[in-house]
Copies of this chain bind each other. A is one copy, B any other.
Amino acid sequence: MAQATGTGHRIAPEHTHPDDVPVLAALAALADPVRMKLVRELSGSLGWTRSCGSFDVPVGKAALSHHFAVLRGTGLIEQRDVGPKRVNRLRREEFDARFPGLLALVLSPDPRDR
């Protein structure tokens, strides 16, 4: 019951399809250590299983919300409200089709990562 009520009080997130994203915006979205970590963690989870609060990143709630909005606005993730939780999936296929190889670069383990 509480879950159903919770859903009604939130504005559904707006999405941008990767096809509508300029390459500059896609690069800028991924060129951030927190967003890169979110994308990497998300890639290791089944779609719609990770809520926004379940990621291990060293930022506050407002900053985290901003990072998710950037990922959504550049076609990297899709979000859905399930009761009080907002859950996520990586738009891997669509993003790969638009930017071949880019996600692979970000997701491959990099010994030079700091």
> Which A residues from 10 to 38 make CB contacts under 8 A with B?
20-24, 27-28, 30-33, 36
| Cα distance, A101 to B33, chains bound together (Å) | 21
- A112 part of interface (Cβ distance < 8 Å): yes
Number of interface residues of A (CB under 8 A): 24
A76-113 interface code vs B (CB 8 A; 1 in, 0 out): 00000000000000000000000111101110101011
The reply to whether B105 and A23 form a contact with Cβ atoms under 8 Å apart is yes
Assembly stoichiometry (copies): 2
Closest to A100 in B: B101
Of the residues B22, B30, B100, contact of A27 by C-beta under 8 Å: B30
- Nearest 10 CB-CB pairings of A with B: A101-B101, A27-B31, A28-B31, A22-B112, A31-B31, A23-B110, A27-B30, A27-B27, A22-B113, A23-B105
